[in-house]
Amino acid sequence: MKIKSRYVEDEVIMDMNTTPLIDVMLVLLVMLIITIPTQLHSIGMNMPIPKPNENKTPPMVVKVDLDENGNIFWDGQGISSIVELERRFTKASATPVQPEIHIKPSKKTHYRYLASVMAAAQRQGLIKIGVVGNERFVDE
């Protein structure tokens, strides 16, 4: 008696072996990931270098306030024009230790007024400039 096999040996298998193709694709993918440079989204900032033995005297602070109409206030006193502000910035930049300039715009101040004050301070050589009071806008 002859035993019949479940598979006929004469039949050709028509399925394609995809394992080597998948292996090649994975190798190419890994090579692509390794060769792509990492993208760095950063902004260059001039941060102060910490000095452990530095004198801990509080810095001189000049408060520049802006209202919604573009009026400028230097430590609470009104300034007539941007020319007067630049003159005061020039005087402040000539001191041995530059003061910190804290610019505080009101809630409805247009950005062009803030930008003009910051540009005036930068043109006169001041480097310690900051916009303060932004925590007012968090809950909006």
CA 87, distance to chain mean position in Å, is 31
Greater model confidence, 11 or 98: 98
- Secondary structure class of 96 (helix, strand, coil): coil
pLDDT tens across 95-134, in order? 888 899 999 998 888 888 888 999 999 988 888 898 888 7
- DSSP letter (8 states) at residue 47: P
Greater model confidence, 104 or 12: 104
Q: Which CATH class is domain 61-132?
A: alpha beta
pTM of this prediction exceeds 0.85: no
What is the distance between the terminal CA atoms of the chain, rounded to a whole angstrom? Answer: 91
pLDDT tens across 21-35, in order? 999 999 999 988 888
Residue 127 CB partners (closer than 8 Å, separation 6+): 46, 98
Domain segments of the chain as ranges: 61-132
Which of 116, 69, 62 lies closest to 93, judged by CA?
Answer: 62
Angle, helices 82-93 vs 111-123, to 10°: value is: 40
pLDDT at 86: 92
- Residue written as token pair 């994975």: 26
DSSP-assigned beta bridge partners for residue 78:
73
